[in-house]
Amino acid sequence: MSFNLFPHNDSTKVTSKDAKVDPTLQAKVIIDSIDDGVILVDESLTIQMINPSASKLCGWNTEEARGISVDSVVQLVNDKGESLEPNQNPMHLVFSSNQATTNTDLTLLSRDGQNIPIRIHITPLVNSENKVYQAVAVLNNVSEERSNEQQRADFISTASHEMRTPVAAIEGYLALALNDKVSTIDTRARGYIEKAHASTQHLGQLFQDLLTSAKAEDGRLTSHPTLVEMGDFLEQLINDLRLVATNKNLVVDFVSGSETNSSVINAKQGGERVIQPLYYVYVDPDRIREVITNLFDNAVKYTPQGKITIGLTGNDQVVQCFVRDTGTGIPKEDVPHLFQKFYRVDSSATRTVGGTGLGLFICRKIVELYNGRIWVESELNKGSTFYINFPRLSSEKAEKIQSQITATNLP
């Protein structure tokens, strides 16, 4: 059978002026000699071609692997060691999505039972009707990279943990020096110490963020999920947060709306009765407080004037919270990178505002702990809205969890 091995990249096509050299053969020689594993599958997920690197990685020899299902040869598992369902498996998904994808956090279960961390890039090959008829998977063993990452995370984690204590002590003593009741300092010294105090606070925050992000990366973030009704939770939280915004003359609003009719009638202050849907989620309230506080603090930081709106809405499946501001907005080209570690927008509007570039990364990691999703929509010089979706618990499920919690708390 013949196939085009380099469908999207003409520059890599083997061309030969020498008629004696068969281009298909040349392509085979190249593919067989590269270090990346390469596998070609057809739409019935049968392996059409597998190169020696891929066969070595999977533990199958090339002759055996050709003609059998890719699921038998490339066994992809999640971090719990469970086989990926077809709707999570990129080898399956490529035939419906028609899109090239890269996955960096998958594990391959080799034929001899080893768990090998891999990166897998899959490219669909489409026919003239734009239908995917084959797909090329490129696999790399990333064990070494993962182990280096782990060592780096361990180092950051230990270093930031150790450094937090002396920084907290310095911050404490500087605060004492600034306290009129216990110290006497002249005006010029006060100016210097105030600056030192602010920088120490920043350093302390940086160490705290580094520690949290290192933990988030290797799954060590502590989490005690419980039943949380987001409406009540947000109302209370906003009361605590409001002050930082009003100090900057920003208006703070809380809006709660519904796309569903699974609601109850609550008696509100003043005897007024309003429809108030109950948005139950199963999360650690302390972690979610961190997320909303971070988004709110950012909204305050990056909004010179106007309004911050916290919103809550949802449907039967999803609870959606959002934090909207009328601030600087975020350039389009920065939006895809915002939730990466240490990413900060480099613009005159944001450069002067202090920060670590870790806040949104931590937010994403926390939201993902609860199978949620976080994203942003933004317009430059108009403002930004950060959205978070969590899976919604039905009232029945919430009641069941509540009675379990009550039962375990009984003496």
| Number of residues counted as binding ligand ADP (CB under 6 A) | 20
3-state secondary structure 296-326: HHHHHHCCCCCEEEEEEEECCCEEEEEEEEC
Helical H segments across 6-67, by residue range: 23-33, 52-58, 62-65
For the bound state, the minimum distance from the C-beta of residue 303 to ligand ADP, rounded and expressed in Å, comes to 7
For the bound state, the minimum distance from the C-beta of residue 345 to ligand ADP, rounded and expressed in Å, comes to 3
Distance in angstroms (rounded) separating the CA atoms of residues 42 and 170: 64
Give 191 or 304: the residue with its C-beta nearer to ligand ADP. 304
Given a contact cutoff of 8 angstroms between Cβ atoms, the answer to whether 197 and 250 are in contact is: no
Give the dihedral of Cα atoms 382, 385, 386, 390; nearest 10 deg: -170
Tell me, what amino acid is at 180?
A: D
Stretch of 26-34, 59-67, 218-226, 322-330 contacting ligand ADP, by CB under 6 A: 322-330
Stretch of 90-98, 222-230, 327-335, 394-402 contacting ligand ADP, by CB under 6 A: 327-335
Distance in angstroms (rounded) separating the CA atoms of residues 63 and 98: 29
Which residues are within 8 A (CB) of 33 and not within 5 positions of it... i.e. 6 or more apart?
none
Among 364, 384, 388, 392, binds ligand ADP (CB under 6 A): 384
Distance in angstroms (rounded) separating the CA atoms of residues 31 and 53: 9
Give 171 or 325: the residue with its C-beta nearer to ligand ADP. 325
Give 273 or 337: the residue with its C-beta nearer to ligand ADP. 337
For the bound state, the minimum distance from the C-beta of residue 387 to ligand ADP, rounded and expressed in Å, comes to 12
Stretch of 103-111, 249-257, 264-272, 352-360 contacting ligand ADP, by CB under 6 A: 352-360
Given a contact cutoff of 8 angstroms between Cβ atoms, the answer to whether 16 and 26 are in contact is: yes
Give 279 or 322: the residue with its C-beta nearer to ligand ADP. 322
Give 14 or 156: the residue with its C-beta nearer to ligand ADP. 156
Among 56, 121, 161, 344, binds ligand ADP (CB under 6 A): 344
Counting DSSP H helices and E strands in the chain, the numbers are: 12, 15
Helical H segments across 68-141, by residue range: 70-73, 90-97
Give 134 or 298: the residue with its C-beta nearer to ligand ADP. 298
Backbone angles phi, psi at 303, to 5 degrees: -125, 105
> Tokens standing for 217?
């990366």
User: Taking CB under 6 A as the criterion, which residues in 290-319 touch ligand ADP?
Assistant: 298-299, 302
Closest residue to ligand ADP, judged by C-beta, is 355
User: Taking CB under 6 A as the criterion, which residues in 43-72 touch ligand ADP?
Assistant: none
Give 172 or 354: the residue with its C-beta nearer to ligand ADP. 354
DSSP state of 175: H
Give 331 or 391: the residue with its C-beta nearer to ligand ADP. 331
Q: 18-25 long-range contacts, Cβ below 8 Å, gap at least 24?
A: none
For the bound state, the minimum distance from the C-beta of residue 358 to ligand ADP, rounded and expressed in Å, comes to 6
For the bound state, the minimum distance from the C-beta of residue 377 to ligand ADP, rounded and expressed in Å, comes to 11
For the bound state, the minimum distance from the C-beta of residue 304 to ligand ADP, rounded and expressed in Å, comes to 11
- For residue 75, the cross-strand partners are 109
Taking residue 122's Cβ as centre, other Cβ atoms within 10 Å add up to: 22
Q: Binding mask 354-383 vs ligand ADP (x if CB under 6 A, - otherwise)?
A: -xxxxxxx----------------------
- Binding residues vs ligand ADP (CB under 6 A): 298-299, 302, 325, 327-328, 330, 338, 343-345, 350, 355-361, 384
